[in-house]
Amino acid sequence: MPHRPLPARSPGAETLHVDLTAPTGAVHGGATGILYGLGDPGVPSHDLIAGMRPRTVSQKAPDGEQHPNGDALEVADGFFAAGGEEMHVYAQDVYSAWPYQDLGIDDYIARLRPQLAKVAARADRDRFVWTIFNEPDWIWYDDWAAKKEKFLADWTTLHRLVKSVLPDARIAGPGETRYRSDHLRDLLAHAKAHDVLPDIVTWHELGPDSLTTYREHFADYRALERELGVEPRPIAVNEYSNRRDTSVPGQLVQWIAMLEETKVDGQLAFWTMAGNLSDHAVRTGSANGGWWLTKWYADLSGETVRVTPPRPGTRDTLQGLAALDRDDAKATVLLGGTAEAVDVAVTGLDRGLVGDHVDVRVAKTTWSGYEGDAGQPPVVAAGRVRVVDGAATIAVPGGDPLAAYQVVITRAGLSGPPAVDAPWQASYEAEAGEVEHAVVVTQDDGSGSDDMAQRYTTSGAKDVGSMTEPGSRVTVEVDVPRAGAYWLGVFYGTEGFVGRQALYVDDVHVTDLTFPATLNRAYRGRLDTPVTLTAGRHRVSLRTSGPGGFLGAPSDVALDRFDLTEITGPERTVYPLTESRRTGGTVDRGERARRLGAPGAIVLGPGDAVTTYVSAAEDGYHELSTTWSGGTLGQALSGRRVGELTADPDGACTGSVTAHLKAGVTAVVLANRGRAPVVLGTMTVVRDAASDRHAVRVEAEAGRLAGGAVVVSGQWASGGAYVGRLGGTGTLTVARPAGFGPGRYDLTVAYAQAEKNTGHPYNTDTVTRTLVVTEEGGHATSAPYRHNYTWDGFWPRTSPLDLVTEDGALTFGNPAGPGPNVDWVRLAPLVVATSVTPLR
């Protein structure tokens, strides 16, 4: 068997030791729970929730007043359907003020009873966990010496109340702002004596030093249980992380590693807005770089094994976790937290399990901004490695402290070693360029203080702001290896407005860039635009003035970083289906995989299925091609079936479906619909822009308005105008495009809406609006439209629409309340082509 090594190891590399012979328990998968990660049904999308697969979430008390959305009962069904297991209810969030107004325990009891009654009426009532106090060490019971007895009495009263209504309910607590051993000792001793022990013990880890001290807290708590004779309780760190951690793979992996090591649940803190998976969802249905790390974590199976980093328990250093799945003969390592190259030293590779050689793939997910979408992480290193005395060392490239890496190790396949698929890419810090008539701003002073940890992440710790003068500009020198097309990705922020700057290359105006609004200047988005460059050095400049003069107030955009990524053709991604989540089936890395030209294959019995999460950079048509052999293969996109493909049982083939995909993440399910086994190889998704001709777009102002709906002039609207005041009696009606009869469609609406509450001291209480589409002679279909920071800057949002009449017109509105502003709408048939061809 030929030996193809990975890239050479770096002399200065750090070493992460992984011992596959030292299991530490079944994969728990609880580290990426979320506080207020869900906003409203559909926000975020089902596919994003299912891909991340948080085991637990904490949400608002039913009918609570603390936030405008996030009600536990409203989002529970979607959460459970996406694979979630426990819905924690923050019962005190029934109150409107922060901190909660203290109206006495009797008032709280009166507000708690209706919550209990509503949950008690549900068949799945036992999946709800009751957080009866949130941060009591500074809310209501701040002086422990004076108020301890009051807290313990109130805990007993509330515990007994919950159990009287829901005898099998689980109660979580005490949920303090930090780990307090003395408070926990008092609570456990009292609760044991009065039979009111918490079913789940909770506390918060909200400082950057928790990355150092958490393990000590965990050990101290377990020692308390032993000392007091309390049976070990499940633990949930029900708020953890800082703003600098959320969305940042290299930071988040450090938290995940220690929480998984101790087999506890953790919930990412709620620092920004409800419904964006604690800063891991871009818009409604797209993923950022941090989401892909959480997806990798959710993919782990089997048992975790011992991982030893160079500096265990040290914040902001290399950390990792690993799992071995013996059934699939696969080891997976997740790591990050360092800018250095890393040698992953793996021992305990069982020759009977993986043979004398292993195939290795190293994928990288890095920070893409909070509102910057990221596709399937590229493979940055790959090869075939010889196993010597049960050991192998894998070189992981460095240079990016914001990144995390996934190392997948499998038995060598028969179809050749794996290959790298990452395009050429380079990054340039804005503050390191030539800055004129603007200000370099330090966003992180490197002190490591709690204040710095609570700032949103900035690449390189600095950005460029105050782009307010006609001569303001930032210019970076770039060097590209080949002539051709490149994506220029600009990391930026605005203060809730649409931005505009002029792009120049080598002092020649290329285009004006329009930056979608972001929450604030530090809450980074990323705008990608194609540029054509010759090989060699160039000056890339963003300016507040273009050929027509000063662009005005919209040009005051904060600039953080410029990325250049080579465009090698239409968007194309290959998904090894052995890395998918499956229901039933087995992995084959032998002859059946070789026949399909794949490193591994999945063998599905009748009724078995696999789910893979594919990404699309934009709304539009894509060809999804799957290699398989066997009988009948069914396919579904986001739960919508797109037909069945049948192959010759004795031959291998490629089945293709050209379907409209929404921008962002789509769950693709492949299922064996026949009676004979089906063998799956890979899925390849290719952007098919030519098929976009099947979609029809209509400017909203060209439709028929009724009620209070009005046409509004708008600088950022595609036709210079949009339709506002939809909702109530205000409606917009568009004629059905010719030939668009009954069937399944995707509806894309370019919308804007910035409704929010303004009373919370640090959460942005965004409000979701609804748009209802009514088919004349048919039925009504509603979809949610989350806050997008501005009333006149438009995001495309795609949702499913099934039509039943031949030509019934479509009316847009919302009888129950205000809808979003609408720039245009587009209707696209879900599927436009299918084919099955023999595989040669």
- The secondary structure of 629-643 as a DSSP string is ESSEEEEEETTEEEE
Put residue 510 in one of left, alpha, beta given phi > 0 → left and psi -120 to 50 → alpha: alpha
For 6, which DSSP code? P
Sign of CA dihedral 481, 287, 794, 555: negative
Give me the amino acid identity at 296.
W
Dist CA 46 CA 59 (whole Å): 17
CA atoms within 13 A on the CB side of 91: 31
The enclosing H or E element of 450 equals helix 450-453
Distances (CA, A) of 512 to 461, 495, 544, 615, 678: 27, 19, 10, 27, 51
**144 contacts 94 by C-beta, under 8 angstroms:** no
Torsion angle of the four alpha carbons 449, 453, 457, 459, in this order, in degrees rounded to the nearest 10: 30
**35 contacts 205 by C-beta, under 8 angstroms:** no
Dist CA 117 CA 586 (whole Å): 45
Distances (CA, A) of 779 to 440, 775, 782: 55, 6, 10
Nearest 5°: CA angle at 838, between 832 and 840? Answer: 125
CA atoms within 13 A on the CB side of 725: 10
CA atoms within 13 A on the CB side of 598: 30
331-349 tens-digit pLDDT: 999 999 999 999 999 999 9
Q: What are phi and psi of 372, to 5 degrees?
A: -110, 120
Residue (of 721, 742, 709) closest to 794 by Cα position: 721
Residue (of 749, 708, 764) closest to 731 by Cα position: 708
Report the pLDDT value the prediction gives residue 2, as an integer from 0 to 100. 38
Residue (of 795, 819, 766, 818) closest to 43 by Cα position: 766
**Cis omega (within 30 of 0) on the bond before 5?**
no
Name, in order, each residue with C-beta under 8 angstroms of 145's C-beta and a sequence gap of 6 or more: none
Q: Which residues of the chain have pLDDT under 70?
A: 1-7
**534 contacts 472 by C-beta, under 8 angstroms:** no
* Residue for token pair 């048509």: 621
Tokens of 744: 């399944």
Residue 336 pairs in a beta bridge with: 319, 404
Sign of CA dihedral 753, 759, 760, 761: positive
Strand segments, DSSP code E, in 544-619 are 545-546, 549-550, 558-566, 572-576, 581-583, 586-588, 601-604, 609-616
> What is the b/e burial string over 313-326, where b = at least 16 CB atoms within 10 angstroms of the residue's CB?
eebbbbbbbbbbbe
Give me the amino acid identity at 105.
I
Nearest 5°: CA angle at 157, between 151 and 162? Answer: 120
Number of Cβ within 10 Å of residue 117's Cβ equals: 12
DSSP 39-52: -BTTBS-HHHHHHH
Q: What are phi and psi of 425, to 5 degrees?
A: -150, 145
Dist CA 530 CA 484 (whole Å): 10
Distances (CA, A) of 331 to 508, 532, 735: 51, 41, 55
Give me the amino acid identity at 390.
G
Dist CA 175 CA 136 (whole Å): 7
Torsion angle of the four alpha carbons 282, 284, 286, 289, in this order, in degrees rounded to the nearest 10: 30
Outline where 100-143 has alpha helix (H): 105-120
Tell me the three state secondary structure of residue 519.
Answer: coil
Q: What are phi and psi of 595, to 5 degrees?
A: -60, -25
Residue (of 319, 328, 362) closest to 586 by Cα position: 328
* Residue for token pair 């009977």: 352
